Amino acid sequence: MRAPHPHSAAANPPAASSIIGAIVGRLNDTRSLVCHRPTMAETAVHEARKALKNIRAGLRLLSDAGGVDLRQAGLLCRDVGRLLSGLRDTDVCLMMLESFPESLAAAAEPLTEKLRARREELHESAAPDAAARREIAADLDGVEKALRALDPARFTDAGLRRAVESSRETGEKRYRKLVEAPAPERFHNVRKASKRELYQRRYLEAVRGGTDIRIGLLEDLSEHLGRHQDLWVLREVAAELGELRGDLADAIDRAIGQEQEQSLAIAAHAYGLRQ
């Protein structure tokens, strides 16, 4: 029996080509959000940063699965994210305040006004100007070039599965540290690991057409961990602006406690028990 040709369907699974194409699609989404708009709305900043994290998770998936060095491409994505970080905290705080009950509107109004003023100031200095947009476009082009240079034949289904399992193991290690000492930064570390695994599983699910039941669990975990982190950002910024007091302070601390409890409960299912 003849061995399969190195570029046959058996040696060149469609999953790798499809995943590379999906990551390139995310790059195009990011270009649209950042490079082709005159201003950066709150939602655009959020979506662009989320897309960049998704891209980095995909790069890590390919890097681990195929033994290829994509660190430089990942660093380019990180640099783009940092160019947007000046607006991130202010935008997060405004979005979090909008999610609070209307009964807190009066207590939150002074902080909201200060945040709106800060955002206007930051937009002048931190939002991507023409030069920054060119830099972002060049960085994203560099990531795409690295992706298109990959040989899909390097990647097997087994390698892709091992890469995702490695991300899961990272999450489990960080979860154990979180249980030992549930500090805010450890919640954030678990969130980063769970997000990476979630994005990687979505890439695989999209090309296989199956249903990965773990995805729903990771989505719930990421949602609560994300809100937990954002509430801590809101608390720190409110304190910095002298507005962490009264009913608003109580509401923020109460919400942090609720999200911490929810996050730990879901993380116990995601990482504390093998499924």
Is pLDDT at 11 greater than 70 in this prediction? no
Model confidence at 125, pLDDT cuts 50, 70, 90, reads low
| Alpha-carbon span 111 to 186, nearest angstrom | 27
Predicted pLDDT at 271: 95
Is pLDDT at 241 greater than 60 in this prediction? yes
Is pLDDT at 129 greater than 80 in this prediction? no
Predicted pLDDT at 166: 96
Q: Give 121 or 252, the one with higher predicted confidence.
A: 252
| Alpha-carbon span 189 to 178, nearest angstrom | 9
Question: Over the stretch 53-86, which tens digit does the pLDDT of each residue have?
Answer: 999 999 999 999 999 999 999 998 988 888 777 6
Average pLDDT over residues 24-51: 80
Whether this prediction's pTM lies above 0.85 is answered by yes
Q: What is the 3-state composition of the chain as percent helix, strand, coil, each rounded to the nearest 5?
A: 80, 0, 20
Model confidence at 161, pLDDT cuts 50, 70, 90, reads very high
- In order of 81, 149, 156, 158, the CA distances from 226 in angstroms are 17, 34, 32, 31
Average pLDDT over residues 226-250: 96
Model confidence at 10, pLDDT cuts 50, 70, 90, reads very low
Model confidence at 208, pLDDT cuts 50, 70, 90, reads confident
Q: Which helix (H) or strand (E) holds 183?
A: none
Count the neighbouring beta carbons within 10 Å of the beta carbon of residue 89.
18
Average pLDDT over residues 42-47: 72
Is pLDDT at 216 greater than 90 in this prediction? yes
DSSP 3-state assignment of 128? Answer: coil
Token pair of 26, please? 């995310």
Model confidence at 2, pLDDT cuts 50, 70, 90, reads very low
Q: What is the mean pLDDT of the chain?
A: 87
- 157 and 131 in contact (C-beta within 8 Å)? no
Is pLDDT at 9 greater than 50 in this prediction? no
Predicted pLDDT at 243: 97
Unique residue bearing structure tokens 């809101």:
234
